[in-house]
Structure 1
Amino acid sequence: MTDEPEIIPAGEEKVVFLLGGQGTQYFGMARSLLDEDAVFRSTMHELDRSAADRCGRSVLEYLYAPGRGFGDRCGDLLMTNLGLFFVEYSLARSLDDRGVRPDLLVGSSLGEFIAVAVAGHLPVTDVLDFLCELSDCVVRTMPPGGMIAVLAGLDQFREVVKPSADITIASVNSDRHFVISADVAALDRARRAMVARDVLHQDLPVDFAFHSPAVNVMNSELCRLGKRMHLQLPAGTSRIYSSRTCSLITEVSGETCRQVIRGPIRFTETVSRIPSYRSHRYVDLSPSSSLAAILNSSLPETETLPVITPFNAESQNIRRVVEQLGARG
């Protein structure tokens, strides 16, 4: 996604929506909203019908299947890509119904594509079609791999694991929180080394090495698929910050779609580049409120408002968001 110079005036408090991607999903995410929030529920079902027409499967049946819980691996790429889109877009609709609307959006990885729909720049069906085709392309072409969140300093990790070119640093979120991406063999080697030296880490529910050279096998297909998402924004109208470029986006093309999946994630740096970022309110639409947690650790001066959590506190959190932002109930 092509970036433009900073054009947002400084010194004004803004509402910033945070939209995340793969690795944040889990079975039953936002279940309380599906049960209790009419706008969220109707949007989820509308999206599910559209997706079923395209791929022949129900995302809701997958996400909320009986017997599956937070601790189970939620890794079906098509279902989770669509599920993340469904949940974050439906939450944005629910907040909009309460008068909470974003001045700016920050997309991280898959969240960039979701942000384009939330901002109303492209029809929801175009984004949904793209995600269906993208998921199929990944499963057909990319080799098995994965991603691991590491809770340690980079220097310590390099001393313990001695990574070579087969391990990519996909994202650096703070001094002691980053994500690696690699094939199965390299991840196994890294795990063994970290376990031996008591380096805290957690596997993400991702079966492919996104944000690494492994994506290159899809280059031509990604550029072709990205044409579905083509968008050119007039100068001065963008509201979406890319966590790839740390800048406002002005164009979506096949090549920029490829770069979103291939390049490193620079989420913390992106937020810090927003003019007067300390004065804004950051509403996290991602499952697990993982982006708010990153900001609390990396930029503790920011005010974050999480919504979705594994503890089913969504209704309480939405009330807090509405109260904090002065919107109508």
Structure 2
Amino acid sequence: MNRQTVFLFAGQGSHYYQMGRRLYEEDAVYRSELRRLDELAAETLRSSVLAAIYGPHGKSQPFSDIRLTHPAIFMVEYALARAAIARGARPDITLGASLGIFAALAIAGRLSADDALRLVIRQALTIHQYCPAGGMLAVLSDSETLMGELSQWGEISGRNFAGHFIVSTPSTGMAAIEHHLKRQGVVHQRLEIDYPFHSSWIEPVKPMVQAQSRSVALNAGPGRVICCALAGELKHWHPDHLWHVARGGIAFADTIGQLEAEGAHDYLDLSPSGTLGTFMRYLLPQGGKSRCHVAMTPYGNDLQQLSAAVGALAASPRRDAAIAL
């Protein structure tokens, strides 16, 4: 089987102010998609997501208001994917981790971009109103003992590769977890997220997210959509799927393992920060045939980064794309 191309979409924690700024200034497709989606978002939010992303704040400043970050992540990832497609990239498969499932569905044509954005905003407003505050930390360790120790304050909510997991906690547990990790000398980073996603602490929004999920009807399409909440292909839409995406763990490592068992792939990370590309460096075997390319990073040179990634895809042997674009 020839190599297939997989578009990768990340969720919360991959965002920052000014993400894709140079691309917004220099690429007409990216700019046009963002402006169109921003107008749609403003109908509900009564404010501009673009004005927040590309306003006066620097990349290193906190960007955590979920009412803005949720739609911002979707908008940037979707627009970046459209810009890659305009340059000739063609996905056979789209893969969504957590919030990234919305962009994966939209790019695959299974859900319109407008409907996806509306769902993202509804979810953000619901979480903002009803969820307890908290957060998530990325931890560099493969110690099952440590994971057990942290369970007194939080829950393991994601496994990205061997030696890297995510822990979610309410606000009352954050300081205790950070103190414990520092005392153990374990490298960790608090993510720019104000809620304990993928844990029992978001249960208060379950009925509302389930109701939102039941309003969704997916379009038929030839392309495969892979969901990290399932660690596999989303073949049939279940009314509770959006809730499962928000509440269940992120099985990114297992999901990539399932794809790699099928054969070699070319992966294109379309997250704003290149986070999934970093994970892939640890997941893909050295000397293997699969490759991962990153379309955007926080370090600028957006146009060159995207062009180089699409160029690398074009140089790889592959069959005709399964997704009609």
Normalising to structure 2: TM-score of the pair? Answer: 0.91
**C-alpha displacement of 1:320:** 1.5
Distance 1:278 1:100 in 2: 20
Residues 298 and 225 of structure 1, relative CA distance in 2, 3 Å threshold: same
Q: 1:21·1:84 contact (CA, 8 Å) conserved in 2?
A: yes
**Which string of whole-angstrom CA distances, capped at 9 and with x for unpartnered residues, describes residues 120-139 of structure 1?**
11121111111111111101
**Aligned equivalent of 1:85:** 74
Alignment length (residue pairs): 312
2:275 partner letter = S
Q: 1:19·1:286 contact (CA, 8 Å) conserved in 2?
A: yes
Q: CA RMSD in A?
A: 1.7
- Name the SS of the counterpart of 2:215 in structure 1: helix
Distance 1:323 1:232 in 2: 30
Q: 2:78·2:103 contact (CA, 8 Å) conserved in 1?
A: yes
Work out whether 1:98 is the aligned partner of 2:87. yes
**Aligned equivalent of 1:320:** 308
Q: 1:232·1:251 contact (CA, 8 Å) conserved in 2?
A: no
Distance 1:183 1:39 in 2: 40
**Aligned equivalent of 1:129:** 118
Work out whether 1:272 is the aligned partner of 2:257. yes
**C-alpha displacement of 1:275:** 5.5
Q: 1:127·1:229 contact (CA, 8 Å) conserved in 2?
A: no
Structure 1 stretches (4+) deviating beyond 6 angstroms? none
**Aligned equivalent of 2:155:** 168
Residues 75 and 28 of structure 1, relative CA distance in 2, 3 Å threshold: same
Work out whether 1:306 is the aligned partner of 2:291. no
**C-alpha displacement of 1:276:** 5.2
**Aligned equivalent of 2:142:** 153
**C-alpha displacement of 1:254:** 3.5
Distance 1:24 1:275 in 2: 24
Q: 1:117·1:127 contact (CA, 8 Å) conserved in 2?
A: yes
**Aligned equivalent of 1:34:** 24
Q: What aligned pairs does 1:1-329 form with structure 2 within 5 A after superposition?
A: 11-66=1-56, 68-155=57-144, 157-158=146-147, 162-164=149-151, 166-231=153-218, 233=220, 237-274=222-259, 279-300=264-285, 301=288, 302-326=290-314
Q: 2:142·2:163 contact (CA, 8 Å) conserved in 1?
A: yes
- Name the SS of the counterpart of 1:21 in structure 2: coil
**C-alpha displacement of 1:244:** 1.1
Distance 2:109 2:220 in 1: 12
**Aligned equivalent of 2:321:** none
Normalising to structure 1: TM-score of the pair? Answer: 0.90
Percent identical: 31
Distance 2:113 2:234 in 1: 18
**C-alpha displacement of 1:227:** 2.3
2:85 partner letter = D
Where do 5+ consecutive residues of structure 1 fail to align? 1-10
Distance 2:152 2:215 in 1: 33
Q: 1:238·1:248 contact (CA, 8 Å) conserved in 2?
A: no
- Name the SS of the counterpart of 1:18 in structure 2: strand
1:320 partner letter = A
**C-alpha displacement of 1:322:** 2.8
**Which string of whole-angstrom CA distances, capped at 9 and with x for unpartnered residues, describes residues 150-176 of structure 1?**
1122336247xx223541111111221
**Aligned equivalent of 2:322:** none
**C-alpha displacement of 1:298:** 2.5
